[in-house]
Amino acid sequence: MAWSNDPATVQNPTTNLVAVFGWGDAVNAGFNMLRGPKAGCYVTSLVGTAPGFMPWATEFYDVNGCHDNVTNNTRITVPSGWGGLWFVGCNMACSSGIFDMFISVNGATNIVSQSSNTSGALETACEASTIYPMAVGDYFQVFTVGGTARSTTTTSRFYAHWLQGI
C-alpha cells in the first residue's frame, strides 16, 4: 500500500485505520480539533506592560492571518471566510497586585472577565475563556485594569480558534 500526503486518506497498513490528522505536524496535531479547514491564532510575549489593551509580539502559530505582530498587534481578527463560532481565551500574568482581565469584541463589548485573587511579590495570574459568535472582520482583544506591570514572558498567552460556521 502506498502512503499519501493527504491526511484524510493516510491509512495504517496494519489496521487500515485513517489518521485523525496529518502525522508529524505538531502544530496541526495540537490545534486541529476538527477535520478540514481551520483558522486560529496563539500569541505570547507581551510587548507593552501598562494596563489597557495588551499588545502581543510572538505568534506560536497563526493560521489564515488572524494576527499581525506590528499593525493592530492587540487584536486577533476573524479572517475572510471564517465567520462563526470561535473559542477564545487568555492567560495573563502580572508581577504584583490584584488586577482584572477582560476579553472584548471590537474594542467595546466585554464577553468574559476574570480577576486575579492574590497580591504580592510573586506573579499573580488570571485565566478566562469562552465561545462566541463572530463575523468576518470582528476582532478579540484583551484589556486589563489594576495591578502593576504585565508579564512579558510566555506565561501570558492569548488565543482564538474557529470552531464552526453558523
**Same structural domain for residues 81 and 144?**
yes
Residues spanned by the domain of 157:
37-164
**Same structural domain for residues 18 and 95?**
no
**Same structural domain for residues 41 and 31?**
no
**Same structural domain for residues 66 and 97?**
yes
**Same structural domain for residues 14 and 45?**
no
Per-residue pLDDT of the chain (166 residues; tens, 9 = 90+): 444 444 445 555 565 555 554 444 544 544 444 445 588 889 887 766 667 888 888 888 899 999 998 899 999 999 999 999 999 999 887 766 677 889 999 999 999 888 776 655 555 677 889 999 999 999 999 988 876 656 655 578 899 999 988 8
Q: What is the 3-state secondary structure (H, E, C) of 61-125?
A: EEECCCCCCCCCCCCEECCCCCCEEEEEEEEEEECCCCEEEEEEECCCEEEEEEECCCCCCCCEE
